[in-house]
Amino acid sequence: MTDERHPRDTDSTRLHHDWEAGSRLSLTVVDAVAAHRAEAPTELAPLYGSIDLEALEGLVDSLDRGDGRVTFTHDGYDVTVSADGEVVVRDAVVDTDPDAAFEAELTRLVLRAAADGVALDGGWTCTDGTDGPSWVVDIARRR
């Protein structure tokens, strides 16, 4: 695991999870949030209060190592975990954008499905409707 404050982005903290070391991804996430807050990991709210840890590990593990990411909010911070092991922590942004709210809710549902052992395939598209964006969501459940 490496720790760095990215020189181009002083508002974020980045750690890299070492998949080969055999440590839990959730420990890297906790370390990244603690580094961002400049506090000990024991001073943080428990990570399991924000996200199902097994679902997070399973979902990220199921992604292609070079592509994909999961973003969630923990203890007032936005945490992004990329399939390549990069963990980025930023101050949470309150977003009233309906597209962002939709994506956040869809992410929450997909993580919940993963926690329940349900593998999902599917996607979504957005088209212009008369009253604003119109979302078409197609998720196929598979075991």
Residues 3 and 23 in one domain: yes
Please provide the DSSP assignment of 12-58 as one string: EEEEE--GGGT--HHHHHHHHHHHHHTS-GGGSPPGGGTS-HHHHHH
Chain centroid to Cα 131, Å, comes to 30
pLDDT score of 126: 60
Residues 119 and 86 in one domain: no
Token pair in block for residue 77: 């911070």
Residues 58 and 103 in one domain: no
Residues 114 and 65 in one domain: no
Tell me which of 14-28, 72-86, 118-132 is least confident: 118-132
Stronger pLDDT, 24 or 113, i.e. the higher one: 24
Residues 131 and 79 in one domain: no
Q: Work out the mean pLDDT of the chain and round it to a whole number.
A: 77
* Structural domain boundaries, residue 29: 1-92
What's the total number of domains in the chain? 2
Q: How deeply is 134 buried, as exposed, middle or buried, from its count of CB atoms within 10 A (0-12, 13-18, 19+)?
A: exposed
Residues 68 and 4 in one domain: yes
Collapse the DSSP code of 112 into the 3-class scheme (helix H, G, I; strand E, B; otherwise coil) and give the result.
Answer: helix
Residues 85 and 105 in one domain: no
Residues 43 and 82 in one domain: yes
User: Which pLDDT tens digit goes with each residue over 72-93?
Assistant: 888 889 999 988 889 999 988 7
Residues 47 and 62 in one domain: yes
Cβ pair 30, 47 in contact under 8 A: yes
